[in-house]
């Protein structure tokens, strides 16, 4: 399963790779509002584009450069989460999901349309009236699963329960289309109530998982808990295919150190994966820098520094 894959991974093989593979999931899904920030981090200043089309063209080229890189393979990268425009685009004339599958990397799609204003200490997802159409398009392109993000800022049980209920409603819609949902209720790591929010989230997720139909599974994408090992019960839950972690604003060394303290959690980093890459680098420099980041995140995902009970 760890090999390169030659464009032949079927759904069962993708499931096995995600469930048991050694590695992590790359998040290449910055969208809309966060695109200028992502480009700036990559060394492309605001004046480099004159409209949204050009801006999206620049970020697409950055993603193509990553996907093309010899460092970016299914040996250490199990999957990649794509923004809708990236999914619809191509790398060297090949649809992006197929280009990933050809490298042994399982494609996922970010499906949420952004966040509502905060209420009860949380931000729910905006409505997704076009979701079924998007899911069938994704499936036709070979996409394996989806990802949807909400944000938890405070340890407010009503708010967190609402986030989890909405996440599972959407997840059931995704499952009905034969795709694997990644549920992402992000606890803000800068929250003064982070530990309390982690604990309530654990309780609400456990209830929702227990109520899933027999044979159904989801994935979870969670902020690394303040208390190492807090999410072990989720890692072990029979309804959970895999638990992945977001970097949440931690720089890569800190994100990796925190991740390594949590058994069974693997990375699904975005900024922490891309933070050292620059548009101005030569291809050799770019590939070296990307390979170093991949190695560091792979190690934190697969070698745990403090195994907790």
Catalytic residues: 184, 221
> Two tokens at 153?
């800022």
In the DSSP assignment, the letter for residue 222 is E
Q: Which of 78, 97, 94 is nearest to 86 (CA)?
A: 97
Q: Which of 79, 81, 93 is nearest to 5 (CA)?
A: 79
Q: Which of 235, 244, 237 is nearest to 106 (CA)?
A: 244
Rounded to whole angstroms, the Cα distance separating 93 from 244 reads 31
Rounded to whole angstroms, the Cα distance separating 221 from 245 reads 5
Residues forming a β-bridge with 95: 90
- Angle 157-176/131-140 helices, nearest 10 degrees? 50
- Which positions ≥6 away from 28 have C-beta within 8 Å? 63, 66, 67, 80, 81, 82, 83, 86, 270
Contact yes or no for 185/201 (Cβ under 8 A) = yes
Long-range pairs, 282-288, Cβ under 8 A, ≥24 = 286/65, 286/69, 287/69, 287/70, 287/71, 288/71
**Cα-trace Rg, the chain:** 18
What are the distances in angstroms from CA 246 to CA 79, 176, 189, 221, 258? 14, 26, 10, 7, 11
> Two tokens at 17?
């790779």
Strand residue runs (E) in 114-177: 122-123, 145-152
């Amino acid at each position: 399963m760890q090999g390169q894959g030659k464009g032949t991974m079927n759904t069962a093989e993708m499931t096995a790779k995600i469930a048991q593979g050694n590695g992590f999931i790359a998040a290449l899904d910055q969208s809309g509002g966060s695109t200028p920030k992502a480009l700036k981090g990559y060394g492309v200043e605001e004046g480099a584009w004159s409209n949204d089309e050009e801006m999206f063209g620049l970020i697409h080229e950055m993603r193509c450069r990553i996907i093309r890189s010899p460092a970016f393979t299914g040996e250490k990268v199990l999957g990649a989460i794509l923004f809708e425009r990236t999914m619809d685009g191509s790398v060297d004339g090949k649809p992006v999901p197929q280009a990933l599958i050809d490298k042994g990397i399982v494609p996922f799609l970010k499906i949420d349309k952004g966040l509502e204003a905060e209420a009860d200490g949380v931000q729910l997802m905006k409505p997704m009236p076009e979701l079924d159409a998007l899911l069938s398009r994704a499936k036709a392109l070979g996409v394996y699963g989806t990802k949807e993000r909400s944000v938890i800022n405070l340890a407010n049980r009503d708010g967190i329960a609402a986030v989890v209920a909405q996440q599972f409603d959407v997840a059931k819609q995704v499952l009905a289309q034969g795709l694997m949902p990644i549920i992402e209720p992000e606890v803000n790591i800068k929250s003064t109530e982070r530990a309390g929010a982690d604990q309530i989230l654990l309780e609400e997720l456990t209830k929702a998982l227990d109520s899933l139909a027999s044979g159904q599974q989801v994935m979870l994408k969670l902020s690394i808990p303040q208390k190492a090992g807090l999410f072990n019960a989720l890692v072990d839950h029979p309804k959970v295919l895999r638990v992945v972690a977001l970097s949440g604003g931690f720089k890569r060394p800190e994100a990796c150190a925190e991740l390594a303290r949590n058994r069974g959690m693997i990375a699904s980093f975005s900024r922490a994966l891309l933070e050292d890459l620059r548009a101005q680098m030569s291809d050799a420099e770019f590939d070296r820098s990307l390979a170093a980041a991949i190695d560091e995140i792979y190690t934190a995902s697969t070698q745990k520094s403090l195994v907790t009970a």
